[in-house]
Amino acid sequence: MAEANLKRPAHLTEILNKVSPRHEPEVEEATLKEARLAIPTPMLDVVFRNGNVRSFNYAYLSEVEFKPGDTLTIRYSTGAEIVIEAGPLQSPAKGTAAPRR
């Protein structure tokens, strides 16, 4: 049966022919200007001696503990904990880019 011979019910025709409301052209243009590509999430990559890599999202970083000389402990709100033991380690505060207020 040809599609031209099919008759749709009135309520279906009304729904399909309904025109969606649109913003003014200026608003639509501004919305497109604000749209941006997804920005990659900054991650902390931990590289093990055997070559394995495990990445942690900086957004969930909750605490960093530094014991001068040999231990740095990084804790995440997810429960993950990274303990780096090496020596001698320098204070992480010396390497921060922005001053604390």
* Model pLDDT for residues 15-47, shown as the tens digit of each residue: 777 777 766 766 666 665 666 666 778 888 988
Contact 64, 73 (CB under 8 A): yes
Give pLDDT tens digits for 42-66.
Answer: 888 988 889 999 998 888 889 999 8
pLDDT for res 73: 92
Confidence of residue 75 (pLDDT cuts 50, 70, 90): very high
Task: Please indicate whether residue 6 or residue 14 has the higher confidence score (pLDDT).
Answer: 14
Q: Tell me the whole-structure pTM to 2 decimals.
A: 0.49
d(CA 37, CA 91) in angstroms, rounded, equals: 36
Strand bridging mode 81-89 / 69-76: antiparallel
Collect contacts of 38-45 with beta carbons under 8 A, ≥24 apart: 44/74, 44/82
